[in-house]
Structure 1
């Protein structure tokens, strides 16, 4: 058997036994660090990590039960082997299961000790590899689904939890919230990542071609079928198929899709042959499917089949804390040498409600980057639909008090706020107020707000 050397820590207050067993492990090629007391080992854990810990059960000071509990709080992935005297075996096992990797009774044979150490090393390295893969997945996921808000952290948690399962996922959220990004993230961190990811916009498929596009067809199946077609499901075999805007599928196609999901087979148009498929199915919608069920425009049985694991993508206005980091990410995707965003420009981005969500932010930034000079985006470079925004907030922004309000004072205050927010840029201040620059200048002159 090939020797496997590892980093072993041995805690034992009996100096003779500690030296003897440490020599046995060193002869096997292991790097052994000895500790007479558990407290010494705990302190050392702050500086380095072993691969396996071998510890006595009954020691002066901190005993084996307390030590094991502390170790598992700090490094739960490190296997701990308990060495105990014959009379205390049952007590040790009962006190420490299931946290301890194994229990050895004194006196222990050298061969048995080395076998247990080897097995524990294999487990330790497997745990380390899994932790490394887990960290890599987290980094990849964070680079795809960007943000630190509690809403987006929840999305990443759900995506990470479901990625390795074959469970059908339903992504919901407004247009532009990143449903396809989330679907690609699920695929990218799954075991299917090296296989195809097929994105299908259900609303873009003509109704008379839905079955052919999804399930394929044979040559001559209908007028215009001049050759065989695999269809999206067969193209996604062993990979992932993403059905966006699932609510736009016609009812007859919904019935066919339900059968595919339940039986994992497709029947191309023009043939009765069933073809087995293995495709992970992720669906998405910005519509209220439950309301559609009430209106008889979406099948209830299909809804239950696709809604096994729902994930809701929050709107950008619900996670404005992410706008800064998201803006940087979106610009770097377009150009690694992306400009900075001035404070005034960033304030505009933060104050806007983004009805088009991340997609709208992406478009606004792409335009701003074209006009940015000297590597910085200014407030005048931010072109947003302020009139839409003004109409949206106008009703909720002000509630007339019972005592009334001075309209003139209110207008002066709004103009001052707009000028402050845009760092005195009159063109952009006018845009914030939903008026022309000339109208703003008239009002500023009227209220004596133009500096001489």
Structure 2
């Protein structure tokens, strides 16, 4: 911790410097106020110890200037001319404490220890508030037995630095669990970097993960730092890890084993220190058996397996999740409109889209609630389908024809729900308005829109 001493008496200044240096403090010293403020601006100490009576700029002026620059700095005033009035004035002006010369070194050290404890408490409290705020953004909500088991496992492995593999269907909240692991572990003060393999073209994946050097390939006009280096010291979450091509799997295995990487087009090894959390929505073990995923990489990733239950296996959590999503979308006043009929309809659904689908349904309920009520008829599962309502695939001549039919169905549904308003429909489908307009022109050219 940095301490600045401003004292015009040479013997006192040297004595204090020696005492505090011996206690492990980083000490800076000045013999008058203006020089002290210059040092303060450069070094930004956590504590300032200043004599009350100084040539030119006095201790009270120093106190005022310091607190103006840094309200969190702790200032201790010392003087040989003590009076109750002076002590009261200095404390009212913002001084942390007041010492009268001569004083025992232990008295000053005791004050400094109190400041250190207070500072640690403030930092810890700020970190806790930040951590809780981030957790509230993506909480793990559930009281069902599957979720209780998951939460217990997360709490157990959070402090461990081993690689974790999260398995779960789309929409179950794999990234949410990865963030919870990060925020509950020893790396919580460092970066959490998330990357979805499926969103990166295969030709660019190696460069995005490991980085590249300038001139490594056509278009590489500057050096590029990959996700591993960006997450150094923290946690790297790799979603859809099953989509990593076999060629890149070899490099990924080396990084996990050796804790070092080589950028594309580079020669030197770069050491990395990251916790790796992988996620997949498919059975990786089956992919290994089918020789589509390296067995050695699988075992390196699967040190701590976490399985996220689909929503259909934890339906007792639906009321809690619904209430959470109402609060998340600032519709707390509408929670009282929820009825037993609404919950019965929600719990009868198979939830192929899991928690993500439930949030979409809740958003729709909020948007379409009128006249102080929520009509259960607004709960439409059509875009996702219902349990057992499988399509007759024989009616489609090709995969493209099937996709086109389903896309058209979703567009028609969204436009009907939003009364032809393209902007509202785009928000409902969570796609850009321009993308939706293009799809409407291609698939529903005669649709009435506004």
TM class by smaller structure: 0.5 to 0.7
1:133-181 alpha-carbon deviations (Å, 9 max, x no partner): 9xx98x9599711010010111111111111111000000111111111
Structure 2 residue 210 is matched with structure 1 residue 215: yes
Q: How does 1:5-404 map to 2 (within 5 A)?
A: 144-335=139-330, 337=332, 339-340=334-335, 341-385=338-382, 388-389=385-386, 391-392=388-389
Shift of residue 343, structure 1, vs aligned partner: 1.9
Measure the CA separation in 1 of the matches of 2:238 and 2:327.
28
Compared CA separation, residues 302 and 347, structure 1 to 2 (3 A): same
Distance 1:245 1:386 in 2: 23
1:389 alignment partner, SS class: coil
Q: d(CA) in 2 for partners of 1:167 and 1:375?
A: 51
Tell me if structure 1 keeps the 8 A contact 2:311–2:351: yes
The answer on whether the counterparts of 2:353 and 2:384 sit within 8 Å (CA) in structure 1 is no
Greater Cα shift, 380-389 or 365-374:
380-389
- Which structure is larger by alpha-carbon Rg, 1 or 2? 1
- In 2, Cα distance between the equivalents of 1:145 and 1:230? 32
Contact 2:138 2:176 in 1 (8 A): no
Q: Report the CA distance shift for 1:184/1:387 in structure 2 as closer, same or farther (over 3 A).
A: closer
Residues of 2 paired with 1:157 and 1:387: CA distance?
A: 31
The structural deviation recorded for 1:307 is 0.1
Provide the aligned length of Structure 1 versus Structure 2: 265
Segments of structure 1 that go 5 or more residues without pairing to the other structure are 1-128, 395-452
User: Cα gap change, 1:387/1:206 in structure 2, threshold over 3 Å: closer, same or farther?
Assistant: closer
With over 3 angstroms needed to count, the CA separation of the structure-2 counterparts of 1:221 and 1:142, relative to structure 1, is closer
CA RMSD of aligned residues (A): 2.9
Deviation at 1:338, TM superposition (A): 5.0
| Contact kept? 1:140, 1:189, Cα under 8 Å | no
* 1:63-85 C-alpha deviation (Å, 9 max, x unpaired): xxxxxxxxxxxxxxxxxxxxxxx
SS in 1 for 2:386: helix
C-alpha separation between the residues in 1 aligned to 2:375 and 2:205? 47
What's the CA shift for 1:390? Answer: 5.7
Q: Is the 8 A contact 2:352 2:384 kept in 1?
A: no
Structure 1: distance between partners of 2:313 and 2:373: 27
Equivalent-residue separation in structure 2 for 1:193 and 1:220 (angstroms)? 36
Tell me, in whole angstroms, the C-alpha distance in 1 between the residues paired with 2:310 and 2:365.
22
Report the Cα distance in structure 2 between the residues aligned to 1:299 and 1:273, rounded to whole angstroms.
Answer: 26
- How much does 1:385 deviate? 2.4
* Unpaired runs of at least 5, structure 2: 1-123, 392-450
Whether the 8 Å CA contact 1:239–1:279 is kept in 2: the answer is yes
Deviation of the 1:318 alpha carbon: 0.3
Q: Give 1:331 deviation, angstroms.
A: 2.1
Per-residue deviation, residues 3-33 of structure 1 (Å, max 9, x unmatched): xxxxxxxxxxxxxxxxxxxxxxxxxxxxxxx
How many Å apart are 1:373 and its aligned residue?
2.3
- How far does residue 184 in structure 1 lie from its aligned partner after superposition? 0.8
Deviation at 1:292, TM superposition (A): 0.8
Q: For residue 437 of structure 2, what is the aligned residue in structure 1?
A: none
Displacement of 1:375: 5.0
Kept in 1: contact 2:211–2:225 (CA 8 A): yes
Cα separation, partners in 2 of 1:390 and 1:213, compared to 1, 3 Å = closer
* Equivalent residues of 1:316, 1:357 under 8 A apart: yes
Alignment CA distance shift 1:252-1:375 (3 Å): farther
| 8 Å contact from structure 2 (residues 349, 387) kept in 1 | no
Aligned 8 A contact 1:338 1:375 in 2: no
Runs of 4 or more, structure 1, over 3 Å off, are: 139-143, 390-394
